[in-house]
Amino acid sequence: MTDAAQTGRVGLALGGGAARGWAHIGVIRALKDAGIEPAVVAGTSVGAIVGSMVCSEHLEAFEDWVRAITRRDVVGYMDFALGNGGFIQGRRLMKRLQETIGEHRFADLQRPLGVVATDLYSGQERWLREGDLATAVRASMALPGLFTPVQINGEWLADGGLVNPVPVSLCHAMGADRVIAINLNDGLLGRHIQAPLESVATADAQSADDSAAPGMFDVIATAVNVMQDRITRSRMAGDPPALLISPRVEHIGLLEMHRGAEAIQAGYDSVKQMGAAISAFNDG
């Protein structure tokens, strides 16, 4: 880290965005190249997954796994749970993630991590910073209608993106003086998104025909995009980051985890294209 980057405690706010979140890996790698490493990390949904890897120092092994994911692997991770609050239980995916990260609690991490989730019944934002790491991450990624919610301390928790898609505020609450925010939802509005399951099951990764009527998953995905875009804009207006990075990953579908190499490169490139802003951040 450069001397200039040490003038304030740096926080990294990793936003939600499902499979687009693999771009976080590339962003983090490029920031490290620029001499910037966070003192604290906060993550929502897939940002919580990547954040857990950063703070447990397993990011390199995690990147290797992400790059190796195939379309067949993605289908294999889908343990369907119709009638149980969502279509996918997420146990298979979490089991695979735990093989990389190991059995960890927040107290075991090498640097502070905060995870955002939403109390389904009260609508209140929950900041998870203690207890079992995998359970907290699983709750944060429980996208309503897709992944089943998780019960923690008697509360049913769902995706943190419902209340705080890019958790700048949590970074500040954890003691960060300057926050770098990564927003994965820029450019999504106005796109007719191919149904998540269809995009994984077929080789066609292009956006669906705008003239086609939206299906159920299309409606869910698009509604989430609209909601998160509006919430992100509102929250950042009141609590802006020192640096905002928005990788161009809007073309990657909700569950297209097999496009990891593409997303990682997009994240890396997004930082490299911000040379002046990165230099200004390093200058404090």
Active site residues: 45, 159
- Pair of tokens at residue 214: 């939206």
**Closest residue by Cα to residue 121 from 86, 156, 163:** 156
- Pair of tokens at residue 160: 């943190």
- Pair of tokens at residue 203: 């080789």
| Residue with the two structure tokens 């450069």 | 2
Contact 57, 79 (CB under 8 A): no
- Spatial distance between the Cα atoms of 267 and 248, rounded to a whole number of angstroms: 8
Residue 62 CB neighbours (<10 A): 20
Torsion of CA 163, 107, 40, 271, to 10 degrees: -80
Q: Which residues are CB-neighbours of 5 under 8 A, at least 6 positions away?
A: 35, 36, 37, 281, 282, 284
- Spatial distance between the Cα atoms of 22 and 62, rounded to a whole number of angstroms: 10
Residue 83 CB neighbours (<10 A): 7
- Spatial distance between the Cα atoms of 136 and 157, rounded to a whole number of angstroms: 9
**Cα 219 to Cα 119, 192, 223, 232, 254, distances in angstroms:** 23, 9, 6, 20, 12
Q: How far is CA 74 from the centre of its chain?
A: 17
